[in-house]
Structure 1
Amino acid sequence: MTSIGNRIDETISLLTELIVSRPRAVVIVFLLGTALFAAGIPLVETETDLGDRYSEGLEVKEAQDAVDEEFGGPFTTDSETTQLIHDGSDVLTQEALLHVLHLLERINDRPDLRMESAHGPATMVAQALDPAAETPAEQRRAVDRATDTEIRQAVKEVSASREFSMLVSEDFNRNQASASASITVIKHDVPSGFDDEDMDGILTTINTLAEDEPADLRAFGSGLVDSELEDVISDSFVMVMPVVVALLLGFLAIAYRDPFDLALGLIALLMTIVWTFGFLGYAGIPFGQEMIIVPVLLLAVGVDFGIHIINRYREEKVSGCDPVPAMRTSINQLSIAFSIVTATAMFGFGANLFSDLEPMREMGLTAAVGIVFAFVIFAGFLPAVKLRADRLRTRYGVPEFNSTPIASEESSLGRLLAVSATVGKRAPVILVIILLIFGAGMGAYGTGVETTFEQEDFLPPEDEAWYGEHVPEPFAPGEYTATETLNLLEDRFVTDQDQSVTIYVEGPFEEDHALEALARPDNDPPSTFAVGSDEQVESQSIVTVIRSHAAQDPEFAALIDRNDRNDNGIPDRNLDLIYDELFASSAGPEARQYLADDRRAAQIEYTIEAGTTVDEIAADGADHADSFRYAATATGTPLIYNAITDILFVSSIQGMVLALILSTVFLVIIYAVLEQRPGIGLINVFPIGIAIASLLGTMRLLDMPLNAVTGLLLSFAIGLGIDYSVHFTHRFVDEYNDQPETLSAVTTTLSRTGGALTGSMLTTSIGTGALTLAITPVLGDFGILIALSVFYSFAASVVALPPALFLWDRVVASDATGIERVTALLHR
């Protein structure tokens, strides 16, 4: 162990000597590296498709994709479809229908909008009035010529179809033929190579045309959501980063108190960001909304490194050292601490590499690589450029503005921080026990934290934040409407799939027993599946379509009877003939919603009892799918999100535990190798354990769930927070080695290194807290929580480390006394 430690010390000494002896060459190498990474920044692409990124590889998502591909319905939107939403007091009056049809006519007259067809309540009513009306102009004339009575009768006629009920709001009243909202689906005929940007242009143009109509009409589609998700990334970045930079400038100005040192620290921070973004471009990692937190995290770590290296250099200079010896001592002493901080931060960030969710793996990799870049730049470039700058200042007679350390034993801050040393010495055992009980209690309370995943978390809220209207240009955010429209769809239409589940079944449905096998599991449905007055489960499938059409078509009913050997209304032979007849009839479009054209796949839609939780839906849906003879999978948006939330929770806890274990093992080994004191490694982890437990408890107390962004928080908090305890304990060991007196070593550590860490904590917590200004709530929550985690880590280090170190000293002393007694006894 000693020889390994000596080799590490020799390596650090060699690198230190290179930096202090050839600072100009070192600076040039780093600037060339920065230019190389800067070339990779233009290669970075933004990513907005949240569903695919987080659900890739999930069985339930693959089943949903198959359903969308085989049975795309009116709410299945893709790059070739636009939803025209009409909102009003009654959208089924003659005047309201004419507004929609007039807009469709204008859209159809524009070749650049590529309208192939339109289908909605207005077109259905028009064709009920005049079956020959095919174009929007003909349909508008049909509605215009009709009387109010004829309009109401036509509405009642078309309202019998399930498709109509999905295109009008839930408050549709059949007797009065009224509804407060409707959806018209416009299909576009687009050529190959037509991308999302082109589709977004069509959507924008339709909305511009809609503004001319005397009605509340708006165009909506997946392109709008993707566009706003992309815009919110840039808008959040533009809004947040200036505030972060301004706060950093303010606190760094206080910490450095010298404009030249401040400028050097900012250059190092900028280089860290450039290197990291260049890595993203070269590695082909997309920049999703969650990636906004990466530069904030790197700024937090970089600020800490910068303050420590400059502060330690000033300590040596104040004591009378020349610049080169002062920097040599600073690098030698801080390189180990920086290396330990970097390694433990990598464990914290890199623990997400084992997540089942690709975005979390990408975040973990990017943050881990970024922290390495920060270490290399602040341990190599900043000392070298600082020496060069001081030489130039001396040569040209530029004065130093303030080169004293942040705190000392005589300063007010130093005396305040040293209080915990005095308290910790008096009752270390009692304090450690109290802290352990507190941490265990907060951790146990925090296990009840909620886990969620919603697309709306990444979109701006419907109501703009109070500060949004006061943000000046060019930092002001754009106008966002997706959340408002999504809320309207969820509140007013039968699109809330939280109370339904879809079973996707694959099999040869032309076999005689196929339909019987499809219907048989419904004889014993799960308790959460809704059951009608006839004691039958409420579902829609190819079987229900066959029964419904047989009730309306005597010839088809006779065909069913001839091929139903057990007289249960489900044919069990000649199914290919029955399908051909059904698909050729008026029920054909509805039948295709439940049976694929190749007869190899089917879907069944089940209604769920009101009040059922998503967890219960997912569990019962999976159990019911297992009861089918053919391969079946329960799916639907709630089930996909439920699967993602389950993985998020597992990944978050797994990342936290893995980061703690790896950090603990590493710290025990490194202190055993370098100092022959493995117990110090365990003491390092003690404060961070309390900080993480407190953070979990705070999340539950503030009702902040684990989601796609905050799910990264636990392992990231370890990576950031352990920085404080590492710097404390490493400085303590240095002081203890010089003079093995615990109280003196702890007091010096708290008053000197504690001062630098106080500045780092304030800068980091307030800087990261600026994320609360981000447009999306999920980033705001992350900003608050990461700021709290930094503060908790600092406070836990100041409060928990002194009693733990005094307790460690007692154990070491008692071991030494025991060895001496045994040696004396053997001697006698």
Structure 2
Amino acid sequence: MSAPGDYQRLVDAADDQIINHPGRIVGVFLVLTLVFAGGLGAVSTDAGTEGFTQDVPAQVAFEDVQRQFETTPFSADTGSTQLIQRGENVLSRNGLLRMLGIQDRLESHESLRVQSTSSAATIVATQLDPEARTTEERIRAVERATPREIDRAVSRAADRNPQFVGLLSNDFNRESASASATIGVVTHEVPGGTSASAGQGGSSSLTPLQLRTDSVVDGAGGDVIVFGSGIVSAEFSNVIGDSLIIVVPAAVLFILLFLIVSYRDLADLLLGVVALAMGLIWTFGFMGLAGIPFNQILITIPPLLLAVGIDFGIHAVNRYREERTTGLEIGPAMRVTTDQLLVAFFIVMGTTVIGFGANLTSALPPIRDFGVVAAVGIVFTFLIFGVFLPAAKVLLDRSRQNYPIPTFSTTPLGAEGSALGRVLSGGVIVARRAPALFLVVALVASGGMAYHATGVDTSFSNEDFLPPEENPDYLMALPEPFKPSDYTVTAVTNYLSDTFESGQSDTVTVYVEGPLREDQTLEILHRAGDDPPDSFVRRDGRADATSIISVIEDHAARDEEFRRLVERNDRDGNGVPDDDLRAIYDALLAEDSPVRGQAQRYIAADRRSTRLVYSVESGATQSEVTEDARTVASDMERPRTEVTAIATGSTVVFEAISGLILDSAVTSLAIALAGTALFLLLVYYVLEGRPTLGIANLVPIVVTVSFVAGSMRVFGISFNAFTATILAITIGLGIDYSVHVTHRFADEYRERDLSTALERTVRGTGGALAGSMLTTVFGIGVLVLSVFPAIGQFGVLTGLSVIYAFTASLLVLPSALAVWAKLVVERGGSAAGGPTVEEATPDDAA
């Protein structure tokens, strides 16, 4: 076969530089390493779910809600911190004084920027002394009261203040005036503003305030827990650091172990390790220089780059050793090696970049960042292992001729006659006897796994980003600094959900825009709550909602004049005004209105937008709640009106992201497969003059992707923020194995018959693939040690993808190549001018 392209000229130029000027190349690469190392300090962290919510329509609506209703004009931005008090009875004198004392202590620290504090203890103290305005006065009121007076104050608070019971645990007993837990709230002034995201971010302006609050409360002793979005954000960042501290050293340990087996030479091992370290430094330095923040998904980048780098390194050294065992000198042996491997590495790089780059089509910024970093990292890996490592190897072996550098082994893996070589040849035996039949069976099995994969679930939630409630014992047994921190977020979140009534249900928001002054507008919004869907909480047969309508109803119940105004404008007598709404809003938002602040939380100053907050059942799924919320929102819209309604809130935003994750996985898979196929067709046309060889090359990738997707359902692993990239990654990693086999086969087939070419390919390349596979599986498998369970799932899937790719490349690909040779080459004559496919026999291999 003669290649129609003139690519060899470029390869020869690289060969000359590597062989004739290795010191110059090594020096340039070391200088570049120092440049990229300068960017390491600029790498920032962006943990949590907030990065995924950007630009999602439901999130845009959520931000509009936060901007219009959670803040008031000309007021400073505020954020809140929860104080969770637990005890035998938080409503006893000691329990009340404990919470009030903490509140007073926090208010006295100017650095905490406390605007106000509130709690059940505050409400009880106010019942004891209505004139008590400060926390100190409330403390004195409780100290002076008798236990009987405190019990009566608790009873009055429960009757008169609906917020009081919501601050107490579910075991609140009105008769005995007791509860085992309560929540206090500290409101801080936040100069930088707070995030309006539905998700949790990796950085928050509240974080330093809440960490200082935690320090102050901890210094007071006792059983009060500080909790809030800033604490969560801090733990998100800590989990990333702890995961890296555990995963990276463990990966290095396993990688070193298998590299020792693969290289069996200390100097070669050191070269491989240096090259791996350079790949990581270049990639993360690029992140810092490009301003790409580090998020949880990018924890997977080091193992992935190590996987490809290990493969490249073992192949380069193994192929070089093969040529050296034939008697070639250093220069000629390396020229033969780089002649073949530079092309193979380029094909792997191109297809892997396509696989990873397909993630750029995702609507989710962290996944796009992953695509960029992974693709750039693969390019760096190609340059380092395709140019630097061969040059360094030439420099090393020439130095061995002049200096006493020890040499332990120069034997390639899978050498002829070795046990490993015989084991790896199983696929060749099948390819000789029944390649077409075996290929059909493999493709049918792949189709079955692909069909099974259609039932894989999709999810997105804060829980995907949280550490387990308790770290496994094997992690806690690690010595410092590898031992992970004691995390509290998950435990506290579960405690709040289990202990307080407010934790038993979630909420969704419907954001409405339109001419709210027009008659019947409020009536339309009210009727949308009739006969609520199953996921919505019912109260008196209607959806349990808080809105401007509930503000009107509550104010009418307390203010006689306002009640008469409502009645005059309520045609059907249901308590919802449907006429002269301008007057209703003016009364609610008047400067002297006692409910002005409450009304501003539900209707905008221009009277053109409002929100309705619905309680939903805690057992309802994200998809059920979202579908029902969208149905209710659509009921609020009427033909020929300007009223628009959109469902939003954390649940709706996360469900929208779940859909985007699935879209991202499917789209990136389709683009990666299509792009890889086109690239392989083009490359093999240029290299071999036979583009159809690219189709044969793609067969094991299709098999691998199908089995990985099917395995997700078998193991109950859903597509989430971390596994959304797995199918494209499978293509990126899997193509590595099949390209090495296919390209080596093409070289061998030029000179030999089919059977011999397959035998030499699998025995020679298969040995390097086996070493690479074992090293990669164990290197990536350490992701199961991550504090993130979702990252552990990613590690399992990536390890499976490597095993499947290795197996398919050595078992399925030989049959695909045999069928390709019979259908394509035989019709046009022998590939090497020797025996044709039909003439080739197993004896030819001898």
CA contact (8 A) 1:540 1:606 kept: yes
* Residue in structure 1 matched with residue 143 of structure 2 by the alignment: 144
State the shift of 1:368 in Å: 0.3
CA contact (8 A) 2:505 2:615 kept: no
Compared CA separation, residues 523 and 463, structure 1 to 2 (3 A): closer
Query: Does residue 183 in structure 1 map to residue 196 in structure 2?
Result: no
State the shift of 1:708 in Å: 0.7
Query: Does residue 652 in structure 1 map to residue 650 in structure 2?
Result: no
- 1:624 is paired with a residue whose SS is helix
Query: Does residue 711 in structure 1 map to residue 717 in structure 2?
Result: no
* Residue in structure 1 matched with residue 7 of structure 2 by the alignment: 8
- 1:770 is paired with a residue whose SS is helix
- Counterpart-to-counterpart distance in 2, 1:521 and 1:203: 40
- 1:85 is paired with a residue whose SS is strand
CA contact (8 A) 2:207 2:230 kept: yes
Which string of whole-angstrom CA distances, capped at 9 and with x for unpartnered residues, describes residues 693-723 of structure 1?
Answer: 1112222121122111111111011101111
Alignment of 1:96-135 (within 5 A): 96-135=95-134
* Residue in structure 2 matched with residue 824 of structure 1 by the alignment: none
* Residue in structure 2 matched with residue 305 of structure 1 by the alignment: 312
* Residue in structure 2 matched with residue 751 of structure 1 by the alignment: 763
State the shift of 1:580 in Å: 4.5
Counterpart of 2:779, as a letter, is G
State the shift of 1:576 in Å: 4.3
* Residue in structure 1 matched with residue 79 of structure 2 by the alignment: 80
CA contact (8 A) 2:548 2:599 kept: yes
CA contact (8 A) 2:497 2:504 kept: no
Q: 1:227 aligns with which of 222, 234, 255?
A: 234
Comparing 508-517 with 359-368, greater Cα deviation is found at 508-517
State the shift of 1:176 in Å: 4.8
- Counterpart-to-counterpart distance in 2, 1:748 and 1:64: 62
- Counterpart-to-counterpart distance in 1, 2:99 and 2:532: 42
Between the two proteins, what is the percent identity of the paired residues?
A: 43
- 1:678 is paired with a residue whose SS is coil
Q: 2:420 aligns with which of 391, 408, 413?
A: 413
Q: 1:58 aligns with which of 56, 59, 62?
A: 56
- Counterpart-to-counterpart distance in 2, 1:408 and 1:119: 76
State the shift of 1:170 in Å: 4.0
- 2:473 is paired with a residue whose SS is coil
Compared CA separation, residues 499 and 205, structure 1 to 2 (3 A): closer
State the shift of 1:498 in Å: 6.2
State the shift of 1:777 in Å: 0.9
Q: 1:248 aligns with which of 243, 255, 260?
A: 255
State the shift of 1:678 in Å: 2.4
Query: Does residue 601 in structure 1 map to residue 600 in structure 2?
Result: no
CA contact (8 A) 1:660 1:718 kept: yes
Compared CA separation, residues 192 and 617, structure 1 to 2 (3 A): closer
Which string of whole-angstrom CA distances, capped at 9 and with x for unpartnered residues, describes residues 612-650 of structure 1?
Answer: 432122122123223324222111211111111110011
Alignment of 1:614-763 (within 5 A): 614-629=622-637, 630-739=643-752, 741-763=753-775
Comparing 352-361 with 670-679, greater Cα deviation is found at 670-679
CA contact (8 A) 1:498 1:614 kept: no
Query: Does residue 564 in structure 1 map to residue 570 in structure 2?
Result: yes
Query: Does residue 515 in structure 1 map to residue 519 in structure 2?
Result: no
Comparing 573-582 with 29-38, greater Cα deviation is found at 573-582
Q: 2:392 aligns with which of 371, 385, 388?
A: 385
Comparing 32-41 with 496-505, greater Cα deviation is found at 496-505
Compared CA separation, residues 638 and 172, structure 1 to 2 (3 A): farther
* Residue in structure 2 matched with residue 270 of structure 1 by the alignment: 277
CA contact (8 A) 1:448 1:700 kept: yes
Which string of whole-angstrom CA distances, capped at 9 and with x for unpartnered residues, describes residues 207-233 of structure 1?
Answer: 344346674211111111111111111
CA contact (8 A) 2:426 2:811 kept: no
Q: 1:801 aligns with which of 813, 823, 827?
A: 813
State the shift of 1:89 in Å: 4.5
Query: How many equivalent pairs are there?
Result: 813
TM normalised by structure 2 equals: 0.91
Comparing 572-581 with 621-630, greater Cα deviation is found at 572-581
* Residue in structure 2 matched with residue 426 of structure 1 by the alignment: 433
Comparing 133-142 with 786-795, greater Cα deviation is found at 133-142
Compared CA separation, residues 353 and 325, structure 1 to 2 (3 A): same
Compared CA separation, residues 239 and 610, structure 1 to 2 (3 A): closer
Gaps spanning 5+ residues in structure 2: where?
A: 196-202, 638-642, 834-846
- Counterpart-to-counterpart distance in 2, 1:806 and 1:174: 82
* Residue in structure 1 matched with residue 404 of structure 2 by the alignment: 397
Counterpart of 1:82, as a letter, is T
Counterpart of 1:203, as a letter, is Q
State the shift of 1:168 in Å: 2.9
CA contact (8 A) 1:38 1:275 kept: yes
* Residue in structure 2 matched with residue 449 of structure 1 by the alignment: 456
Counterpart of 1:38, as a letter, is A
Compared CA separation, residues 55 and 771, structure 1 to 2 (3 A): same
CA contact (8 A) 1:513 1:573 kept: yes
- 2:692 is paired with a residue whose SS is helix
Compared CA separation, residues 192 and 655, structure 1 to 2 (3 A): closer
Comparing 492-501 with 790-799, greater Cα deviation is found at 492-501
Compared CA separation, residues 704 and 495, structure 1 to 2 (3 A): farther
Which string of whole-angstrom CA distances, capped at 9 and with x for unpartnered residues, describes residues 628-685 of structure 1?
Answer: 2422211121111111111001101111121111111211221122112223211111
Compared CA separation, residues 212 and 324, structure 1 to 2 (3 A): closer
CA contact (8 A) 2:504 2:618 kept: no
- Counterpart-to-counterpart distance in 1, 2:223 and 2:343: 65
- Counterpart-to-counterpart distance in 1, 2:100 and 2:132: 12
Comparing 472-481 with 337-346, greater Cα deviation is found at 472-481
Counterpart of 1:767, as a letter, is G
Which string of whole-angstrom CA distances, capped at 9 and with x for unpartnered residues, describes residues 149-183 of structure 1?
Answer: 44344334444545334433344444554443322
- 1:522 is paired with a residue whose SS is coil
CA contact (8 A) 2:548 2:603 kept: yes
Query: Does residue 19 in structure 1 map to residue 18 in structure 2?
Result: yes
Comparing 386-395 with 82-91, greater Cα deviation is found at 82-91
Counterpart of 1:724, as a letter, is Y
State the shift of 1:352 in Å: 0.1
Compared CA separation, residues 340 and 514, structure 1 to 2 (3 A): same
- Counterpart-to-counterpart distance in 2, 1:11 and 1:4: 14
CA contact (8 A) 1:498 1:638 kept: no
Q: 2:784 aligns with which of 772, 776, 780?
A: 772
- 1:116 is paired with a residue whose SS is strand
* Residue in structure 1 matched with residue 543 of structure 2 by the alignment: 537
- Counterpart-to-counterpart distance in 1, 2:54 and 2:232: 19
Which string of whole-angstrom CA distances, capped at 9 and with x for unpartnered residues, describes residues 170-204 of structure 1?
Answer: 44444554443322110124556999688544433
Comparing 176-185 with 25-34, greater Cα deviation is found at 176-185
Gaps spanning 5+ residues in structure 1: where?
A: 821-828
Counterpart of 2:694, as a letter, is G
State the shift of 1:355 in Å: 0.4
* Residue in structure 2 matched with residue 315 of structure 1 by the alignment: 322
Cα RMSD (Å):
2.6
* Residue in structure 1 matched with residue 45 of structure 2 by the alignment: 46
- 1:473 is paired with a residue whose SS is coil
Query: Does residue 783 in structure 1 map to residue 795 in structure 2?
Result: yes
- Counterpart-to-counterpart distance in 2, 1:771 and 1:252: 19
Comparing 194-203 with 347-356, greater Cα deviation is found at 194-203
Compared CA separation, residues 186 and 689, structure 1 to 2 (3 A): same
Counterpart of 2:770, as a letter, is T
* Residue in structure 2 matched with residue 481 of structure 1 by the alignment: 488
